[in-house]
Chain A
Amino acid sequence: MGLQGKRSFRPSEPLSDTLPKKGRAMRIVRTLGVAGVTFTTMALMLVSTGGTTAGASSIPTGGTKVAGGTVRWAEPPSTPPTYIFPFMSPQESSVSNISQFQYMMYRPLYMFGSPQKNSPTLNPTLSLASLPQYASGDTGATIGLKTYKWSDGETVTANDVLFFMNMLHSESANWFDYVPGYFPDNVKSVTVNSPSSLTFDFTKSVDPTWMTYNEFGQITPFPAAWDVTAAGAAAGSGGCSTGAYGAASTDAACAKVWTYLTGLASDLTSYATNPTWGIVDGPYTIAASKGGSFSPSGQVLLVPNTSYSGPQKATVKVQELPFTTDDAEFNALVGGALDDGYLPQQDVTSAASNATSGGKNNPRLSKFYLTPWILFGFNYAVPKFESTGDGGNAGAILKQAYFRQAMQSMVDQPTMISKFLKGYGVPTYGPVPVLPQNDFVDKFEQSNPFPYNPSHAKSLLTSHGWKVTPNGTDTCQKAGSAKGDCGAGIPKGAQANFTMAYASGTAWQKQVVQVEQSAWDSIGIKTALVANTFHTVVSTYAPPCASGTPCTEELGWWGGGWEYSPDYYPSGETLFSTDAGSNASNYTNGNADSLITATTDTNVSLSKYEDYLSKQLPVLWEPNADYEISEIANNLRGVAPQNPFANLFPEYWYFVKS
């Protein structure tokens, strides 16, 4: 899902923009020139070791547990939850709606990440089902359900899973994570074996890890009581939870049920009072009959679901509170009106000495401890390979891997994170996140394949027929596609001159692009920066260029990055395979396609794919800000470290005596 719910670094936040002076940026560039290597080495050591350093906040432990209480939790600025039905289009998919609202009431079949751990892996304990048992050469899998109950007393059954699958088959165009060719197109049949078991048959063999993480990870069982087309109808009367998977009659029945449920979900004022939404299998409910509440303005009171069948029953209530801006949230934090909030970047008073544990807290927040919240994702800028800008030269130049490598070699991410994010960020070295710590990333990617190295960047250009003019504009001297030439489609005399759009409103992002502009300029690559709103940059740079249509965009960075959720396995099928819907740069490479297919269809590690893509640079890797710098009350336990997919587990939270 996108990062529109980012809590402290809202891309479209216009009011907190502390615009840097250009002179400051220039000073920083000069500083980078001198201290770049030192900073890079130091920051890399910090990032890679993940050890604690003096000055970093520590997570309090111990204390005498206090029963009950209400945790006042800050919502991301101007992003309250607005959708309750856990089957939504991209329009409604957001961290605020899914991870921090729906999942607390309607548990996905497989839960990813664990309470108080930042490990981005499947959590068997909190999942509703046992791990899938793959068979027949990985062309099928059987899933066994654990004994979970809905709050209306019914058991979570295989038919509830089939209900979701039938809905997905019928309404795939309305499912936010649908990618043609993948889930559920790759599912041939779903058979209910018993109330607690069902079998999936696939259209081809799959990589079990990929299938479990990226495809089964999307499933959220629905209660039979939702299988209706009118209020008061008998549970299951809609025919969507019992019909044969893929049958036309089932699709038709599910379409009616979907219409009914989305109609209910469009009335926010009834979320707490409509009995439909009161049937939950998660640890929390907003049902008014149980003491919960929901206001369309974003004030949500989640109360414990006393019939939750999971391993840990909730004891505290959670009051989600809306905020207009992070400044307003900070005022509430200082005023003691919150138990779990966030520190706006502009209010960070002390740099993080460690990427995972942060630094000293703002002295005005002595009643809170600080902890960085890092999500499992990465950040990138998009070079448009099919750009028709500059008579087509821009696209032809950006299509050259050596040219992108030269550009990447001028991006000093560790220093940028240290300087502009005060250490509250993570570098991106490839398609697999280097932090939070995970088993998917390999040593090669972690080593930063393209450290800041101007001489390497220059040699890449000169060895490919470019005349490098520092602080001028490089020109292609050797047209052609042979070794040592500029590359296919680049005429002699073509200039390295681009326009780069970036999302305005976020100070650190502006600082990063300004430093990149200066760094590239120092090796003769000219970039004209154009600021625009986050949404305008997304709408112009995220769509791949269409064949035969003018595509004037050249380089763009909206800054929101990519989070691996609910595609929890960091494979690149939707991002970097040829003609993928989110392949914004129009990257196409036969070898990359083969490696991507191998990660989805066969049981291989991600290493070959990630190493190749790290070097290939289908996009330019950019620094990624922490999701938020969390501020948690000193007397609140069980919150940190936080989930790398932005999920909340308040059933593990409790207060201790102050």
Chain B
Amino acid sequence: MTGFLVRRLLQAVVVIIGVIAIMFVLIHLIPGGEARSVLGPRAQPIAIAQFNRANGLNLPLWDQFARYIWNVAHFNLGRSVTQNQTVIALIGQALPKTLVLVGLATLLAIIIAIPLGVYQVVRRNKPEDYILTGFTFVLYAMPAFLLGTLLILWFAIYLPIFSTEASQADTVLGILSDPRAMVLPVVTLAAISIASFSRYMRSSMMETMTEDFIRTARAKGAAPRRVLFVHGLRNAIIPIITLVGLSLGTIVSGAVITESVFNYPGMGLLAVNSAFRDDIPTLLGVTFVVTIATILGNLMADILYAVVDPRIRYAKS
């Protein structure tokens, strides 16, 4: 396992540098200069020259890239060119918000989707299964902005139970201390994930329940509940672990639509606004953090495979 981890970590470093390199080149291929884009149509040549000097944009691209990698290695992601803050400070404001929102939504989705998927298998091809399948399809097909807006309309305006916007606190504790404000955004985001996770769970569980070892367990007289949850669920859950592992990148990159609708400026909006404003340092910084999260998510999923399924032994492979 140790050798596996070391190999994966070394691969991760290569992947991170590769992703930054690709992003760096792609961003610099955008037509027009960053200076004019940031400074606007009034900017005089002298201001543009000053901006380029101050941000190292007058240097060759390879030199800019080398300096960026060097700075990143020293935990310096640079300074936003539009928001007068360091990129780390901006990510520090946005990331906790996103982790709370998407983390809670993912957790809620898992808690609801797994039993839902199992229940649908137990009641497969029965009215309950059809109803739940239809309901999850509706949720899955519903855009987040529509669901979010409808929830606001029903539960914040017509029935003023919750607030129209998510918590406006800047810290995790502050956000969690206002749970009423987080209900609608978490439900909006979870609803779509529930639909997806439960469909995966249902199909995986159905496949598992036809396996030979399930038949053997039943033949040996194991109770139906034990067959379902101990033999079936443990094997069927592996695809869900993959999904959740891969979703770590999504958790960090945020849910831009939900963040927009509920006035909750997290990582998704930070990335989108940076892209639209040609705020290259921020865009690169967000990409860097999301890349790390995606790699970590994959790594965690690989490790969890081994925990859940003893047949998988990475050290031997």
Contact = CB atoms under 8 A, between A and B. Distances in A.
Interface of A: 1-2, 4, 12, 14-15, 78, 82-83, 89-93, 172-174, 176-180, 265-266, 268, 295-297, 299, 321-325, 327-329, 331-332, 334-335, 337, 505, 532-536, 538-540, 542-543, 558, 560, 562, 574, 581-582, 584
B165 A91 contact: no
Contacts of B272: 14
B84 A265 contact: yes
A566 B39 CA distance: 16
A295 B93 CA distance: 11
B85 A334 contact: no
Interface in B78-106: 81-85, 89, 93
B36 interface: yes
19 contacts: A12-B273, A12-B276, A82-B85, A90-B38, A90-B40, A90-B42, A90-B43, A90-B47, A296-B85, A322-B263, A324-B269, A325-B263, A327-B145, A331-B157, A332-B164, A535-B38, A543-B36, A562-B41, A582-B41
A352 to B, nearest CB: 25
A138 B145 CA distance: 60
A535 B85 contact: no
A178 B276 contact: no
Contacts of B81: 91
B42 A1 contact: yes
B84 A332 contact: no
Given A325-B260, A332-B165, A542 B41 contact: yes
Nearest to B49: A173
A532 to B, nearest CB: 8
Nearest to A537: B32
A247 B241 CA distance: 70
Given A78-B269, A78-B273, A539 B84 contact: no
Interface in B130-159: 145, 149, 152, 156-157
Contacts of B33: 539, 543
Given A78-B273, A534-B276, A535-B37, A178 B170 contact: no
Nearest to A535: B37
Given A92-B84, A538-B40, A582-B42, 6 more contacts: A325-B260, A328-B263, A331-B149, A332-B165, A335-B160, A536-B31
Contact of B170 (A2, A295, A331, A581): A295
A581 B45 contact: yes
Contacts of A268: 84-85
B276 A337 contact: no
B44 A328 contact: no
Contact of A324 (B83, B85, B259): B259
Interface of B: 30-47, 49-51, 81-85, 89, 93, 145, 149, 152, 156-157, 160, 163-165, 168, 170, 257, 259-265, 269, 272-273, 275-278
Contacts of B265: 78, 297, 322, 324
B50 to A, nearest CB: 5
Contact of B38 (A91, A266, A296, A540): A91
Contacts of A14: 272, 276
Contacts of B164: 331-332, 334-335, 337
A388 B145 CA distance: 44
A584 B42 CA distance: 10
Contacts of A296: 85, 89, 93, 170
A558 B168 CA distance: 33
Contacts of A331: 149, 152, 156-157, 164-165, 261, 263
A4 B40 contact: yes
Contacts of B275: 533
Contacts of B51: 89-91
A582 B30 CA distance: 22
Nearest to B86: A266
A299 B84 contact: no
Given A297-B265, A324-B260, A581-B44, A90 B39 contact: yes
A582 B164 CA distance: 42
A430 B277 CA distance: 29
A334 B263 contact: no
B278 to A, nearest CB: 5
B109 to A, nearest CB: 23
B29 to A, nearest CB: 11
Contact of A539 (B37, B82, B276): B37
A74 to B, nearest CB: 10
A321 B163 CA distance: 15
Nearest to A546: B45
B178 to A, nearest CB: 14
A539 B42 contact: no
B49 to A, nearest CB: 8
A83 B84 contact: yes
Contact of B93 (A15, A265, A297, A332): A297
Nearest to B257: A15
Contacts of B160: 335
Nearest to B34: A539
A565 to B, nearest CB: 11
Contacts of A93: 40
A174 B47 CA distance: 7
Nearest to A298: B265
